[in-house]
Amino acid sequence: MSSNIPDTDKKRIVIVGGGFAGLALIRTLRRSGMQVVLVDKHNYHMFKPLLYQVASSALNVGDIAFPFRKMFHGWNDFYFRMAYIERVDATAKRLYTTVGDIRYDYLVISTGCVPNFFGIENIKRTALAMSNITDALNIRNRVLRNFEIAVTASSDAERISRLNVVIVGGGASGVEIAGALSEMRRYVMPRDYPRLDMSHMSIYLIEGLGRLLSSMSEQTSAEALKTLKSKGVKVMLNRKVTDYVDGCAIFDDGESIPTQNLIWTSGIRCSAVPGLEQQTKERGGRIGVDAFNRVKEYDDVFAIGDIAAMHDDAEYPNGHPQLARVGISQGKRLGKNLLAGLKGRPMKPFRYCNYGVMATVGRNRAFVEWKKIRFGGFAAWVVWSTIHIMFLLGIGDILDEWTHKKSVADLAQSMSLNVDKVWLQTPQGDVLVPLHDVQVGDRISVRTGGMIPLDGKVVSGEAMVNQASITGEPLAVRKSEGGYVYAGTVIEEGDCVV
């Protein structure tokens, strides 16, 4: 097979992995003049923070999966190849994949992590992980299938085994799926299965440490525990599941719980990249990088996101937390550093600015921590539902469905922009038209009488009404007087939306 990527005189950057980090890097390089190649084993980006809602049947797959080809439609010198990586030849600067080898000038590894079953074969073979869309669908399908079997079970013992759910891991993922399933048990199951006794269904959340949400404060952990218990979740702390035998989850003290629904969220690890061997091994299979996310012992090879272990940030000497926001920040910084290098300017080391930690616990309930600010309840859920998602992908990214189903005028109104008319570019010249007449894909000019940000200043320059998929930029200003503008505020390139 051949990757069928044309060779040009442009610098080629190959990015392995289209998660948060990889996407942030690609968006930064959009007008770099480089040839950008994305390699991923899937042909879509997955919004992982909402994966638990697919598992609990609250959302459909299409709500959190965004096809790469749709996201980057119309981009110049961008190529996507769906493939698995086989090995890296750093000397020859080639990446070998299942669709052929790909030459690179710069290689970026952003493959993320996979579940860690700690060598327990029975659990690896039978437990339900929650790492990707397939896992989420497996959880949904198995739980619903067991509900159906429970209806016709011949004994209470079999019915209890089919209805019981055991979740291993008291981090954010475990807490969120436990809360979501408790809501399902309370609101959905009695309506869909009126003759099924819900008292036979127990939801267990198992955590090996002494508290839940160990990355958050002890007070938040205590409140999360109280909230889950109020929802009927049976939380078991300082307990470890060591095996799964004959339909029972086995604990380290020999106790067992009968269940056909074992969900595993207890730990992650990074998969090795053949060809990238390092003398110093990092914890969890991560790749050691320097302050510029360059892989140690290699030239022109970088790693970003969950797989990167950086010890040069004084605030995080043991490495950064494996959070989406870290990956996004690293992707943006690496993109700017690569552009600086092409222009002969020095690169800047990566420093992470902590944006806080959030977790949801069922319907209309969440917890937020940012520096010394901490709060929970409905207000925290509102913050999680709005700011958290916006910070992860950018405002334009979460407006994908809006921009395909609504007019540009609706979009502008929803963003509270003072926009009335625009100059539409036509073969006969620019024509001033009402904003609601502009369609996705039309090219417009920003000039006097056209787009007016909130501060009342007229922005000049050229703009395009994009497909506005997950990459965002419904109206992306390429060049404007005084810099790039978002609602009247000058910001850096890549986040500009008028």
Instruction: Using a cut of 0.85, tell me whether the model's pTM lies above it.
Output: no
10 Å Cβ neighbour count for 227? 21
Q: What is the mean pLDDT of residues 260-278?
A: 93
pLDDT in tens, 146-177: 999 999 999 999 999 999 999 999 999 999 99
Task: Provide the pairing of β-strand 44-46 with 65-67.
Answer: antiparallel
Is 60 in contact with 37 (CB distance < 8 Å)?
no
Query: What is the pLDDT, as a whole number, of residue 195?
Result: 87
Sheet with 94-97, edge to edge strand ranges: 85-89, 94-97, 100-103
Of 263 and 417, the one with more pLDDT = 263
Mean pLDDT score of the chain = 81
pLDDT in tens, 62-85: 878 888 988 888 888 999 999 999
**The token pair that represents 74 in the structure block:** 């119309």
Query: What is the pLDDT, as a whole number, of residue 261?
Result: 97
Is 426 in contact with 444 (CB distance < 8 Å)?
no
Q: What is the rounded CA–CA span in Å between residue 411 and residue 405? A: 10
Q: Alpha helices of 29-164 — where are they, by DSSP H?
A: 51-55, 68-71, 121-126, 133-151, 156-163
pLDDT in tens, 385-410: 776 566 544 433 433 433 343 333 34
**The token pair that represents 243 in the structure block:** 């095996």
Q: What is the mean pLDDT of residues 253-267?
A: 95
